[in-house]
Structure formats: structure tokens, C-alpha cells
Chain A
């Protein structure tokens, strides 16, 4: 395995060496980068994570050794979509689940119901403890479409690290395959598992 020793070199020289090696490596190749500089270590790690590149590291006596594996995703281009949804670590998550089964909250006047569900989703965003997962089924999946009035709030909740599961059958039924902007399409087994595994389920 190729070893690039950048000891004694200051930022950004170690990063330049890392990037050069990544460009030259073939997919699946591994190499090591050594640095004796904490700042360079953290900047290289940040750069690798930002660019979805796998690495492991060891540290002994102020020497960091990163073992980097070039991925299959081709050139060093970011996948910023993923980056944008990177979990922000300081949010704490409970083990409860929210189930959206409709695009409105409660029974009664339709307009009021839409307004309430917007307010509810905003309130979820501000909870001290966020849900573990949010599932969407039946008319609930329409909340995740690009025209939904709450799409930005749901994207934000997803960025906070909440898993959003949308019933794929329902998405197909409402012909929203191209329009859903959040979460992952899921099946009834996974949704049932999520509901059954939750400490409690909120159904607005």
C-alpha cells in the first residue's frame, strides 16, 4: 500500500498530497496518509467525509495515520444532496414515531385541517426530542411532494436526522413518484416494523 508521509508539513500541503493521491488511485485502491498536525488531520477528514470517501484512522503520540480507500463513485465530486442532509449531531432523538395518514390534521373543515398540519410540523421541528422516524401513508404521502406547503419544513426535519419513510404503494397510487422530495420509499413490512418498534406513535 502506498504511504504518503506529510510529517512536518503544514496545512494545506497534506490535503494537496491526499487529493493528488486520490486522483491517481483506481477505484478500490487504498493508501495511507500520515500527518503530525491535528489541524491537517481534521481538515483531511472533513474533506474526505464531504467527498464521500471512506477512511479509517489511527493516532499514536501525535501522529495520525489515515487509511483511505478510493470509492467507486468515480471522480472526486461531492454528493452534496447527501451533504445537505447530513445529520446535525446535537439534536436528540426519542424512540417514538409520527404517522401521517392524511394531508390534514383532525376531522372537520378542510382548510383548517391543512393549516393545523403545517403548524404541527413546525412544532415537531422545535421539539426538544425529535421522533426516531416519521412514516407517511395513504394521503399522508402528498405532504412530501414538491408542491406541498410543508415540504421545506419536512426537508429540515430530515436534515436533523429523522428517518422519513413513505409508503411506496401510496406514492404510486397518487402518481407522485417523480414529485416526492423527501425520505425514502418504503414497504408495508418496514412501516409496520417502525410502528411496532416505537415506544408510542403520534397520529395527528
Chain B
């Protein structure tokens, strides 16, 4: 199977923002979250106890094994529900598959991968739709349950919060390196395992600690998603990039010039709202722009409970979890990236 994109196959965030401006937002008091706040998923209130989190995501293959591709695409699709603190309940498969170019076994393998990850999430896939198209694309449209009063939003960042990341960065770099056959097998395996990993335990820990601001890091990179959060919350965020956990040889690959195109698109998107400090290393800067596929959560946590949160995350198997920055009152720029 040809590998191409993952979340880096997204259209440019800047273009997207431009087009979305012209779409009228539906007005309904039961719409609790929509694209207006740049959130990960839409939320619709059913009654005082129940709201639905609704999201979709699909992309072309990120690895050559169809089963693994199905797993990764499914974990990525479900992630938005977890990022908002919801519980995934039902889903539909979305598939584009070239039946004349690829063996139908691959089709079955992709669906099997998706279904296995769905099972792990407690999610029931109850239908779907396939179009004949090349290259293949796969993902889910997912509905989750959430309490209308307990939605974790992009707008929930408060000055004083520390920023915790739950997975190391670098999937965009490693995937690009893999396409060029310059990624080591270890790095490729580590990236694949991370992409298959659900944000389920991270989400449960957020609920346990009553965290109200978070997002998942996907195609717009750490900086892009942080910017969306900072804007929605009207705060600024400072990141210490040298403390960010990275997958294997991500730094070395970036230093060799392995900077995927999506990173430049993300840089275009954030740079007017970002201050890069004078001594900021160029490689670290571009790593903050790296498009993640099925990336981790970025959560805003009160400093007094941050140690507890980190220790719970690590206990739950998210061993790379770390504090990588802090939220401040709104300054000139939304983002401050320093070494």
C-alpha cells in the first residue's frame, strides 16, 4: 500500500479558517460547541444530563500495513471525543478504496484494524460507506456521550495553568522519513505504536481531575493546536521546546532537513500570532510545527495538581507525559516559543 499522509494530508489551517468564515453557523441553543471556538468536535445537548460529541477524521495511509493503517486511522478519529472528555459510543466507517488497484484483502484488513481499535475504546461501529477511489482513505465518524456541564474545551485554558503533553512529538517527521526510507525500524515502530494508542486513559484522568481545557495534537502540530486554544481562551501560552518529549531520532532527522511540507503550512498559520525567542533553535521550532497523526493530548492543569496528574498519566502507560509550558494572561502574541 502506498503511504502518503496521515494528518499532514489536511488542507492548510489558514485556508480552512478563511473558508469557514463564509459558512453560516447554524443557530440552535442546543449546540454547545461548534467550529466557532476551533474545537475538536461539535457538541449537541440532548437534555440536562446528556450531550453528544460528534466528530470525523479520515486520511490516506500512513504505513504500508493495511491492518495497522486501520488501527491508526480509527485511534485518530476517536481522539477528538477523548480530547473533549467524552465517551465514544457509536461510529460509522468512512472509506475510499481502489478496488481495481489493490487486493480486497487489504480492504478487509483496514476495516479489521479499525474494528479492533473501536473494540478497545468500547465503541460500536454500526455502519459505514465506501467509495471507489485512489489512494485509499479511511477513518470514522464518531458519536460520544458527555455531560453538558463537563465538556473539556479549547476555551478552558486559564492563566496560571501548566501545559501537559501526553505523547512525544515527531510522527510527521518519522512518517516522512519512512517514506524516504531513512527512518530506523525502531523509530517507525515507536511512532506506529504511539499512533495506535488511544487517548482514553488521558481522557479519564482529565475527568478525574476535573480539567476543563484540553485539545488533542493532530494535523496543525503542537503550535497550531495551542494557538487555537490560546485564541479560544483569550490567553497566551509559553512553551519550553527543549523539554518536549520526542520520538527516537526526530531531532536528528529534522536537523538533516527532514521537515515535512505540513510543517511549513503550520508555520504560516501560526507565525503572525507567535513570538519566537532570539535563541530558539530552528529544528525545535520546526518540531513544534510538525503535524501529528493521532497525537497526544495537550491539557491545561492547575499547577498545584500537576504532579499528581503527571504521575497518574505515567502509571496509565503514558510514560512520556511532561509539563512543556504554561498559560499566562493575554500578551501581545498568543504563543511564545522558547528553547
Contact = CB atoms under 8 A, between A and B. Distances in A.
A84 B336 CA distance: 11
A20 B264 contact: no
Interface in A63-91: 76-78, 80-81, 83-84, 88
Interface in A134-171: 152-153, 156
Contacts of A77: 281-282
Question: In which size bucket is the chain B interface?
Answer: 20 to 34
A81 B277 CA distance: 7
Main secondary structure of the interface of A (DSSP, over half): helix
B258 interface: yes
Nearest to A22: B257
A69 B50 CA distance: 62
Contacts of B281: 77-78
B260 A80 contact: no
Given A50-B282, A77-B282, A84-B275, A16 B257 contact: yes
A187 interface: no
A16 B182 CA distance: 11
A119 interface: no
Interface residues of A, number: 29
B173 to A, nearest CB: 9
Nearest to B257: A19
A11 B276 contact: no
Interface string B271-315: 010011111111001000000000000000000000000000000
Contacts of A43: 259, 261, 264
A39 B272 contact: no
A188 B276 CA distance: 33
B256 interface: yes
A90 B175 CA distance: 35
B276 A80 contact: yes
B158 to A, nearest CB: 22
B257 A20 contact: yes
B176 A12 contact: yes
A7 B280 CA distance: 32
A12 B261 CA distance: 7
Interface of B: 176, 179-180, 182, 256-261, 264, 267, 272, 275-282, 285, 331-332
Interface pairs A-B: 9 shortest CB-CB: A19-B257, A16-B257, A11-B261, A81-B278, A78-B282, A15-B257, A43-B264, A39-B261, A80-B280
Given A17-B257, A80-B278, 8 more contacts: A10-B179, A12-B176, A12-B257, A20-B256, A43-B259, A80-B282, A83-B276, A84-B275
